Amino acid sequence: MTGSDATPSFRLAYVPGVMPDKWVRIWNERHPGVPLTLTQVPAGAAAERMLGGDADGGLVRTPVDRSVFSAIPLYTEQTVVVVPKDHLVTAVDEVASEDLADDIVLHPLDDVLAWESLPGRPALERPATTADAVELVAAGIGVLVVPLSLARLHHRKDLTHRPLKDAPESSVALAWPEDAKTDQIEDFIGIVRGRTVNSTRGRQQPPARGESANADRGGARRKPAPGKAAAGKSAGAKRTGKSGRGAPKNDRRGKPRRRS
């Protein structure tokens, strides 16, 4: 915001493969007056984007520098190997690292997996991006190991993928600068954690239009307004005797007079 009278907004950066559509839809339903701006950034650029003030928060891949950012882990992805459809490993449902011993395993510069030792044989050069590596797999030059979401993002009809055992995994987190937590970040935390709109956790939400300010006071009874009967009693109710016929007390009926 540029001033106290500016319209509030929420700027969220996200890395390739992360699909925030569901959370964005819920945000728009709950905060129609606060626009959410999404910007996709390379995995290595998300931190700079947030620290530079260009994003209030980010959906990023771990690890996160916890000396600078606060973060909430969201989920961990399955790791898969991307291969041509006629590759030998397509005959099995799951692949082991040793099954790739004879393959060139491409290692792009933007790889998000923390490898201690890459399986297979190394390529002569590292591709610049995951997208470039996928093109090389399609050309029959090697195979590629990535999180499942990136395999889906770069899907091609001539390629397929299989789960890879014994491989590092990639986790996704919601992160924001530790010293710049906004109300919008607090609200978005509630959404990604699955809190309902009426949840008592997180930032207090204003009452909905037409909702009584006394709605949260345990259903305290209201006193009837002057001239009005209390609930459950009729304003014109008559006092009844034991017979319940509604006759007033001392109701004396006159006897007919005799004519002289």
Q: What is the pLDDT of residues 76-110, one digit of tens each?
A: 999 999 999 999 999 999 999 999 999 999 999 99
Asked if pLDDT for residue 39 goes beyond 60, the answer is yes
Half-sphere CA count of 250, side-chain side, radius 13 A = 0
DSSP string, 9-26: -EEEEE-TT---HHHHHH
pLDDT at 8: 80
Reported confidence tier of residue 135, pLDDT bands at 50, 70, 90: very high
The predicted-structure confidence for 58-82, as pLDDT tens digits, reads as follows 999 999 999 999 999 999 999 999 9
- For residues 61-85, one letter each, b for 16 or more C-beta atoms within 10 angstroms of the residue's C-beta and e for the rest, the string is bbebeeeebbbeebeebebbbbbee
Single out the residue of 159, 129, 166, 128 nearest to residue 143, CA to CA: 159
Asked if pLDDT for residue 220 goes beyond 70, the answer is no
Distance, CA of 115 to CA of 119 (rounded, Å): 9
pTM confidence score: 0.72
